Amino acid sequence: MRLPIPQPIFGAIPRTSEGSLPTLNCTSFKIGRKHKAHRGQPPQGKNGRIAEKGRNKNRGKVGRHGKMGQDESHMVDENTPPETLKSRTLEAVAEYIKDGRARRIVVMTGAGISTSAGIPDFRSPDTGLYANLARLDLPYAEAVFDIGYFRKNPLPFYTLAQELYPGNYRPTITHSFINLLHQKGLLLKLFTQNIDCLEREASVPGDKIVEAHGSFARQSCIECKTPYPQDLMKKAIAEKTVPTCIQETCDGLVKPEIVFFGEQLPADFFENRSLPSEADLCIVMGTSLSVHPFASLPMMCSQGTPRVLINSEQVGDMGSRADDVLLIQDCDAGVRSLAKACGWLEELEGLWAQTARPGQPEAKKAEEAAKTGDERLQDEIDKLTKEIDKNLQVTDDQHTWLDNHVDTKFARIPDDGLGDGPTAPVHPGREPNPQETRHDTTPDESDPTDDGLRHVFPWLEKKSSL
């Protein structure tokens, strides 16, 4: 799940362990850019300025011709040969991995890898979290993640947290793919924008994860930063109560260490953000790459390092380098394809099967998704049959009684001289048809099925002949 973060001019600055701001040379502190020039940068003029020739005059502007936070990316010419891969294809990436040349893989993920688990993203119309927060009576949707509003009214966040808290959802097969990379000793680091902890649920170790926007994994006091016990937080979220600091001298509010609007990004992000430059392979999945400084991470990869995008659309500068491979498809389908090409598909499916939890809603959804059309149709028929039986409240004994009762009634018809004509029901509000003959209109006060059947046969009169 991707939590949008407001962007300061120079990005968020990490604090030291004592809580103070470190001394920085702001002239060299640039988000999303290496300090020294590298291949692919335009030629430099005097004083380090970009030479006028080939200069992008719209650079840094916001409007029709520029984008805030990143330059416009251009797709690499299809005739440009790759530097590292044999070709810009899935098969070439798989061969690169199987040959042992991708020993350090960096993965970068966003909300798109969790949507198939049933977790909504934030901004999708009608289905996103922000579109479904009206019941919380917020002044504006984003207030639920605003630290200023949280200080005044923390209850809406805890109402929402009950839905998002870890344990309610099953990891997707994409999460299990990341764990598979770890199991094979190939995962250098996972950078995620998600706060849902599904990577941890899929058994990816915490020391392999950089949660750029925080997560539910830890919680602390917003005033003195004292850690808060996990079991007490779980209880508070289940009861929709607001916990306070466990220190007697502090009565500050406690919240999970999710980065709210107005808060600094975790220091862990800045301590590890240079790791992509050490990677042999970069895999980007399920992110729009629109929130900085996270969006700058793929650009930190060295030239010649293959980058793979598994996403529903092309994003960022992915596709602008000679060794970029774009898999424009669903994340789960993409990782299955890559695992199959590597010969890992059976192993991947086995790892994912281990994430199922008895009674977990998402585990049931996964089982449903695996069924064939005929199996789902049969399940619907069985469900409908059970509902009818429940509504009618007809037991086996009642079935037997009803059969005998009907047999007795029809057996009396010839003896009563009522003829052989069929009995036709008369609908309420309809004039009787003289051609239709109704028999045995004497009410049977002992008939217990009258009330139970009227909602099924609404045309029956108050007292039926059966």
Each residue's pLDDT tens digit, 355-396: 987 655 554 555 555 556 676 777 777 777 776 766 565 555
> Tell me, what DSSP letter sits at residue 84?
S
pLDDT for residue 309: 97
Question: Across 94-228, where does the E strand assignment appear?
Answer: 105-109, 187-192, 209-211, 214-221
Is 35 in the active site?
no
Catalytic choice (213, 399, 439, 455) = 213
Q: Are strands 187-192 and 281-285 parallel, antiparallel or unpaired?
A: unpaired
What integer pLDDT is reported at residue 46 of this predicted model? 39
Is residue 414 located within the same domain as residue 266?
no
Say how far apart CA 337 and CA 327 lie, in whole Å. Answer: 10
Segment holding 234, helix H or strand E: helix 230-239
Question: What distance in Å separates the CA atoms of residue 212 and residue 276, rounded to the nearest whole number?
Answer: 14
User: Among the three residues 346, 366, 386, which one is the final residue of a domain in this structure?
Assistant: 366
Closest among 311, 281, 282, 313 to 296, alpha carbons compared: 282
The pLDDT of residue 99: 95
By the 10 Å C-beta count (0-12 exposed, 13-18 middle, 19+ buried), 423 is classed as middle
Answer yes or no: is 29 within a domain: no
Residues 6+ positions from 388 with CB-CB distance below 8 Å: none
Distance CA(350)–CA(336), nearest Å, equals 12
Q: What pLDDT score was predicted for residue 416? A: 47
Q: Domain check: are 148 and 284 in the same one?
A: yes
Same domain for 407 and 261? no
Cα–Cα distance, 276 to 281 (Å, whole number): 9
**What does the mean pLDDT of the chain come to?**
74
Q: Does 221 carry a binding-site annotation?
A: yes
Q: Is 342 annotated as a binding residue?
A: no
pLDDT of residue 409: 53
156 phi, psi to nearest 5 deg: -55, -40
Other residues' Cβ atoms within 10 Å of the Cβ of residue 239: 11
101 and 203: one domain?
yes
Q: Is residue 354 part of a domain?
A: yes
Verify that 342 and 424 share a domain, yes or no: no
Phi, psi dihedrals of residue 49, rounded to the nearest 5°: -80, 150
245 is in an annotated binding site: yes
- Which of 137, 114, 136 is closest to 332 using CA atoms? 114
Q: Which of 224, 100, 174 is nearest to 332 (CA)?
A: 174
Query: Is 57 among the domain residues?
Result: no
Residue 348 sits in the same domain as residue 428 = no
Q: Which residues of the chain have pLDDT under 50?
A: 1-71, 363, 416-430, 436-450, 452-466
Residue 48 and residue 41 in contact, taking contact as beta carbons nearer than 8 Å: no
> How many domains are there within the chain?
2
At 400 the pLDDT is 65
Could you tell me if 405 and 305 lie in one domain? no
Write down which residue in 321, 339, 366 finishes a domain. 366
- Are 338 and 402 within one domain? no
pLDDT for position 446: 47
Torsion on CA atoms 21, 22, 25, 31, rounded to nearest 10:
-70
| CA–CA dist 128, 331 (Å, integer) | 18
Whether 242 and 388 map to the same domain: the answer is no
Q: 330 and 275, same structural domain?
A: yes
In a domain, 332, yes or no: yes
Q: Judge whether 457 lies within some domain.
A: yes
| 282 assigned to a ligand binding site | no
